[in-house]
Amino acid sequence: MSHPHAQINPEMLRWARGRVGMDIGHAAVAAGVKPEQFERWEAGDALPTFRQAQNLAQALHAPFGFFFLQQAPVDEPLLPDLRTVGGRPVGKPSVDLLETVKQALQRQAWYLEYQQEQGMPSLPFVGKFKFNEAPQVVAADIRAVLGVDVEQGQRQWDDYQRALIQGAEQAGVLVMRSGTVGNNTHRKLDVSEFRGFAISHPLAPVVFINSADAPAARLFTLLHELAHLWFGSSGISNAESGNLRQEEMACNAVAGEFLAPAELFKSLWATASVDLSTRIAELARRFHVSQLVVVRRALDLGLIDRQTYNDFYLAELERFRQAESQGGSFYRNAGSKNSVRFARAVIAEALSGRLLLRDAGKLLGVQPAKIRQFAEQLGA
């Protein structure tokens, strides 16, 4: 029995492979064919069957219909790209980053419509300040809205981070955290590409944290992205300390001031132990943040050089990757990926019958039959 062939455009196949940065060998392995066969398809000397073309689309993370277009679509960032390396703009976003932003925007669009239907008022803190506002003023306002005081060492830093996320969600911010594209554990987000992004909106503000990053680094990213909302600014960030863009400099300054006020930090740094590792540990206990946040703050204030910071950060990231668990509760992770606030809204609509379970499952990345179980896990 012969199988019908898909009349794909070989130029589009070459485009799709280049889009994900694969050579022919890796692309062929991902699609389950020999490199010679893949080369013939790209050259237009042969055509794949429809099943093979569908496998190609999955392997190259491209919509199936793209293979039949006459010319390649333009992959434009859906948010302002604020990332830099060494003070210079970075290359174009990867497919993984683009898909992650797109999914967050889809969820935000649903939540925005939900908020509008509920007649909810705008959140007064979104866009409250200009970029030239004093970081101390913005940081104090974020503390007031989140309901947290300057940390004095009462809690473990990870408990502090959870309290900040909970405070942000209660204030109306959707805090999404994930280290993969959707639920695909084989598509890990690259922390060297981005640390997070913010989507500013007075009814449905979103921050996304790349949880492929070391846990100790996510606290700074969280505050950086929250600062974006207070400035009414959207964008993709890598939290690069040398970034000279006005919005990134302002957000870095607010995040640093929130976690470790400059004047007090410099005073304590000057009187702490001469030994650098001991000094870092002392300040981490005092401000109740991770040692990585202390090192980052010291870099931003010119107290250590970039190489010292880079060495510390890379060591912290390596420890996280070696200790990273492959397990954990799917439903707890799903709550983090979606934002607990968003997940509860979707579940409420689904269980009330106003939203089909099928559509709720698509929004949440959860099987429709498991929605009730997910609701129980969230206490929704």
Q: What values do phi and psi take at 6, rounded to 5?
A: -90, 125
- Residue 252 CA to residue 195 CA, distance in Å, equals 13
- Using CA atoms, how far apart are residues 230 and 251, in angstroms rounded to an integer? 9
Instruction: State the angle between helix axes of 215-230 and 157-171 in degrees (0 to 180), rounded to the nearest 10.
Output: 30
Residue type, 232: G
- Rounded to a whole number of angstroms, the distance between the first and last alpha carbons of the chain is 53
Between CA 285 and CA 151 the distance in angstroms is: 10
Residue 320 backbone zone (phi > 0: left; psi -120 to 50: alpha; other: beta): alpha
What's the CA gap between 79 and 98, in Å, rounded?
9
**Structural Rg of the chain based on CA atoms:** 23
Element (H, E) at 185: strand 184-188
Residues 6 or more apart whose Cβ sits within 8 Å of residue 240: 83, 84, 85, 248
Maximal C-alpha separation, the chain: 82
The alpha carbon dihedral of 29, 31, 32, 34 has a sign of: negative
Report pLDDT for 27. Answer: 86
H helix intervals, 118-149: 135-146
Q: Closest Cα partner for 317 from 287, 334, 335, 296?
A: 296
pTM value is 0.79
**Residues of the chain below pLDDT 50:** 1, 326-327
- Under a CB-based contact definition with an 8 Å cutoff, are residues 65 and 33 in contact? no
CA distance 91 to 227: 25
380 vs 374: CA distance, rounded Å: 8
| pLDDT score, position 3 | 64
Please, is 41 exposed, middle or buried when counting C-beta atoms within 10 Å of its C-beta (0-12, 13-18, 19+)? buried
Residues forming CATH 1.10.260.40 domain(s) in the chain:
10-68
pLDDT 10s digits, 242-260: 677 888 889 989 998 998 8
CA gap 261, 286 in Å, rounded: 12
Q: Which CATH number fits domain 10-68: 3.30.565.10, 3.20.20.70, 1.20.140.10, 1.10.260.40?
A: 1.10.260.40
CA-based nearest residue to 98, from 177, 197, 13:
197
Cβ distance 41 to 27 under 8 Å? no
pLDDT score recorded for residue 77: 67
